[in-house]
Structures are given as structure tokens and as C-alpha cells.
Chains A and B, each alone.
Chain A
Amino acid sequence: AQSVTQLDSHVSVSEGTPVLLRCNYSSSYSPSLFWYVQHPNKGLQLLLKYTSAATLVKGINGFEAEFKKSETSFHLTKPSAHMSDAAEYFCVVRWMDSSYKLIFGSGTRLLVRP
């Protein structure tokens, strides 16, 4: 069975400092992994995805994530936080059958202090 664990429910950073949102996955197969972002009262937007190509994945708005098989991790990073990055971030794994079902982590709320 596939699952993802987001280790922090809240992360608070100052504007201009690095962001690290942690995600560990569990999968019997080589997984497809995603990060989605949800701004307050908005829908979900894809930030980036890993589908067994390059292990370092670059996404939108300066975010990137590195797939580390040995650590079963897919942490999301950004060198410098912006106020507009404040949102809920979801690490997601794709169920490895023909259904393409997505399994969501519990989410991490990123707070950015001025």
C-alpha cells in the first residue's frame, strides 16, 4: 500500500529565509510523487511532480523537491520564502494501479512572518 507522511503540521519561517517541508512516503513500487499547494479558500495547484525521471524536481514559484529512495523522502524546499508562499502544502503519492487514485498527506501549513 502507498502512503505519505508529512512530518510537520505547521512550519513558520521569516520572509527571505529557506523553506523546508518534509514528506516521507511508503510504497512497494517506484512511486509517483507530487506536491500540491492550497491557498486560503482556493483550489489545489500542482507545484511539482516526480515520476522516476530526474531525482531533483523543479517546480513553480521557485520550489523544488528531491526524491531520495534510500530515505524514502520527498522534501519540498525553497531558498527564500515570500509572503505569498503562505498556504497549505500537500505531499501526494499516486496509487500504483490503473485507477490513478491520489493519496494525500495530512498537509503542512506554511506561515511566513514579515
Chain B
Amino acid sequence: DTAVSQTPKYLVTQMGNDKSIKCEQNLGHDTMYWYKQDSKKFLKIMFSYNNKELIINETVPNRFSPKSPDKAHLNLHINSLELGDSAVYFCASSLTTAGEETQYFGPGTRLLVL
């Protein structure tokens, strides 16, 4: 009965590789988000999709490309990984059409780039 799930939980990879992180929510929400938490625990929004449409795109390198195949999924693809990409990536979702502001977070994906 997981609400917001992410795969994989842990990802260790070499610099220059391309990797994807997947997120799925079974809450019937219409908006999904990606946040990045750095080594100092600071959390920052990266992207947001509402009904498969991109509505937030913060100043994130072009190497990061979100894809939303449907309302329940928001994947994050990262090209040419760099050391600075090492972080915890959190997916979240909310039901904005109902004016509900609460965002529900996934367990996070811990990415380590070597």
C-alpha cells in the first residue's frame, strides 16, 4: 500500500554514465515533483509536473530531464553524471485540483557518483 515509491533506493555509478530514477504514486494525485537534498540536508525543488505538463523547471542543468508518461509516474533521467550530482533525490506528489497543498514524499533515492 505504498503511496509514493521510488526505484532504485540506492544508486552507485561512475562519472559520465547515464542513469534514471523512477517514481510512482498510487494516491490519485495530479501533480508530481522532484527535489534534491544535498550533503548538508538542504532540499530544493527541481521539477514539477501537473497532469503530465511541466510547470516548474528550476535552474537545473540540461543533463537532467524529467519525463511523465502519465499522471501517476514521474521519472528523472540524468545524462553524463558528475560528482556534484551525488545527493538524495526525493519524489513527491499532491492533489492540486482539490486545492490540497500537502505534498507526500517518497523514501528517496541515494545517488553516489564516483
| Chain A interface (Cβ < 8 Å from any Cβ of B) | 32, 34, 36, 38, 42-46, 49, 51, 88, 90, 94, 98-104, 106-107
Nearest first, the 10 closest Cβ-Cβ pairs linking A and B are A44-B105, A104-B43, A43-B107, A107-B41, A43-B105, A99-B56, A101-B45, A43-B108, A32-B101, A100-B96
| Chain B interface (Cβ < 8 Å from any Cβ of A) | 4, 31, 33, 35, 40-45, 48, 55-56, 90, 92, 94, 96, 101-108
Cβ contact within 8 Å between B106 and A43:
yes
Set of chain B residues within 8 Å of A45, measured between Cβ atoms: 105
Chain A at the B interface: SS class: strand
Set of chain A residues within 8 Å of B102, measured between Cβ atoms: 34, 46, 49
Min C-beta distance of A1 to chain B, whole Å: 14
- A43-B90, A43-B105, A46-B104 known; A90+B96 contact, CB < 8 A: no
Q: How far is the CA of A100 from the CA of B42 in the complex (A)?
A: 19
The residue in chain A whose Cβ has the minimal distance to the Cβ of B108 is A43
Q: How far is the CA of A100 from the CA of B92 in the complex (A)?
A: 12
The residue in chain B whose Cβ has the minimal distance to the Cβ of A32 is B101
Set of chain A residues within 8 Å of B42, measured between Cβ atoms: 104, 106-107
Set of chain A residues within 8 Å of B103, measured between Cβ atoms: 46, 100, 102
Set of chain B residues within 8 Å of A32, measured between Cβ atoms: 101
Min C-beta distance of A4 to chain B, whole Å: 11
Among B33, B45, B107, point to the contact of A42 (Cβ < 8 A).
Answer: B107
